[in-house]
Amino acid sequence: MTTYIVVGGFFGDEGKGKILAHLALSDSPEIIARGGVGPNAGHTVEYRGKRYGLRTVPSGFIYEGARLLIGAGVLVDPVVFRHEVEELNLKDRIGLDKRCGIIEPKHIEMDRKNKHLSDEIGTTGTGTGPANADRVMRVGKLARDIPELEEYLTDVPLEINSALERGENVLIEGTQGFGISLYYGTYPYVTSKDTTASQVASDVGIGPTKVDEVVVVFKSYPTRVGEGPFSTEISQEEAEKLGIQEFGTVTGRPRRVGLWDGEMARYSAMVNGATQVALTGVDRIDPECRDVRDYGKLTPKAKKFIEKVEEDAKAPVTIISTGPSLESTIDLRDEKL
């Protein structure tokens, strides 16, 4: 039995979606549960020639043997939820906690019209901040108040803890990234909740003693969307020259791009309690590594970079991504753990 929590180590968009999909297919977890903030997240999974942009459903959904759950700490926009569930045909195996906070149209409107949020902070405009504010004010609706969600309601902590008692594997998905944690990020340019592993455990209702592995996902060239400090940022022109320009999954906004930040990696791995690191975008360090599936076939330049990441994060790099497709993954857990 192993409980995995996967979180983002930089500012989000580290490639968690792909790492989660890989872990789901390799480890056959009985339950895949989503923690994190809400549909402000955009996780991309490319599998069997199809590209999925997910905002609410767990990224591990491609492993068909898993029960999919959304924890009580996660905000749910019923429109987004039902759209994804129907599109991906997940009705029979997805549940959400009866205590999930609900995003209503008024929250989205407020997120987009409020100048502080939309212009100064540069939020995703998905209503998560205002919905969390309503929850703190104890006026927000919960999933149990919404008739259209009734068929999905469950007790997520009970389901997960029972699976753990039976000795099953459980995979828990975080969203966003360390740098936009409400507590540890670049406040006020942050999201509306903590984003670290402990928060994610609480989101789905398991205690810290039940977590075996914390995988912190870093990307070789970090990115950031929205406003706020980004100490290793490079110009869009430089990013274009390097061929590493990116656009957001949810907002379509160009992402700001930066160089590897060892200091941030160390701090983020520390607060998250990283036991492993997943490193994405290694093909950007050296294009010759694109789609390589064998550690031995990585170039010396890439290997040297990986060693530096291990020194910075003080945790082994166990999963390496060399391209967007799920197949372009090197899994070293058997050797390194």
Show Cβ contacts of residue 280 under 8 Å, excluding neighbours closer than 6 positions: 14, 15, 18, 19, 217, 218, 219, 220, 321
Provide, rounded to whole angstroms, the least separation between the CB of residue 230 and ligand IMP.
10
Interaction of residue 13 with Mg ion, rule CB under 5 A: yes
Between 132 and 280, name the residue whose CB sits nearer to Mg ion: 280
* Long-range CB contact pairs, 197-202, < 8 A, 24+: 197/5, 197/7, 197/272, 197/273, 198/273, 199/35, 199/73, 199/174, 200/5, 200/7, 200/35, 200/36, 200/73, 200/172, 200/173, 200/174, 201/5, 201/35, 201/172, 202/35, 202/73
Task: Show the tokens assigned to 279.
Answer: 């490193």
The single residue of 13, 77, 283, 286 carrying the catalytic annotation is 13
Q: How many helices and strands in the chain, by DSSP H and E?
A: 12, 14
Q: Which amino acid is at 47?
A: Y
Q: How far apart are CA 336 and CA 161, in angstroms?
A: 28
Please say if 43 is a catalytic residue: yes
The single residue of 22, 43, 283, 312 carrying the catalytic annotation is 43
Q: Where are the strands (E) in 157-250, listed by range? A: 170-173, 213-219, 223-224
**Binder of ligand IMP out of 4, 9, 10, 13 (CB under 6 A):** 13
Between 131 and 206, name the residue whose CB sits nearer to ligand IMP: 131
**Binder of ligand IMP out of 169, 191, 199, 220 (CB under 6 A):** 191
Q: Number of residues in contact with Mg ion, rule: CB under 5 A?
A: 3
Query: Between residue 87 and residue 126, which ones bind ligand IMP under the rule CB under 6 A?
Result: 121-124, 126
Interaction of residue 42 with Mg ion, rule CB under 5 A: yes
Between 153 and 234, name the residue whose CB sits nearer to ligand IMP: 234
Between 249 and 322, name the residue whose CB sits nearer to Mg ion: 249
Q: How far apart are CA 177 and CA 230, in angstroms?
A: 13
Task: Show the tokens assigned to 285.
Answer: 């360090």
Interaction of residue 226 with ligand IMP, rule CB under 6 A: yes
One symbol per residue from 56 to 95: x for binding Mg ion (CB under 5 A), - otherwise; what is it?
A: ----------------------------------------
Interaction of residue 192 with ligand IMP, rule CB under 6 A: yes
Please say if 13 is a catalytic residue: yes
Between 42 and 323, name the residue whose CB sits nearer to Mg ion: 42
Q: How far apart are CA 160 and CA 169, in angstroms?
A: 10
Going by the DSSP 8-state scheme, the letter that residue 307 receives in this structure is H
Provide, rounded to whole angstroms, the least separation between the CB of residue 158 and ligand IMP.
28
Interaction of residue 9 with Mg ion, rule CB under 5 A: no
CA count, 13 A, side-chain hemisphere, 305: 23
CB 41 within 8 A of CB 73: no
Provide, rounded to whole angstroms, the least separation between the CB of residue 125 and Mg ion.
14
Q: Can you give the length of the chain in residues?
A: 337
CA distances from 67 to 41, 90, 93, 96, 330 (A): 21, 10, 5, 11, 26
Q: Number of residues in contact with ligand IMP, rule: CB under 6 A?
A: 21
Interaction of residue 306 with ligand IMP, rule CB under 6 A: no
**Binder of ligand IMP out of 175, 196, 199, 328 (CB under 6 A):** 175
Interaction of residue 59 with ligand IMP, rule CB under 6 A: no
Provide, rounded to whole angstroms, the least separation between the CB of residue 185 and ligand IMP.
8
CB 175 within 8 A of CB 41: yes
Please report, as ranges, the residues that interact with ligand IMP according to CB under 6 A.
Answer: 12-13, 37, 40-42, 121-124, 126, 128-129, 175-176, 180, 189, 191-192, 225-226
Please report, as ranges, the residues that interact with Mg ion according to CB under 5 A.
Answer: 13, 42, 249
Q: Which residues are catalytic?
A: 13, 43
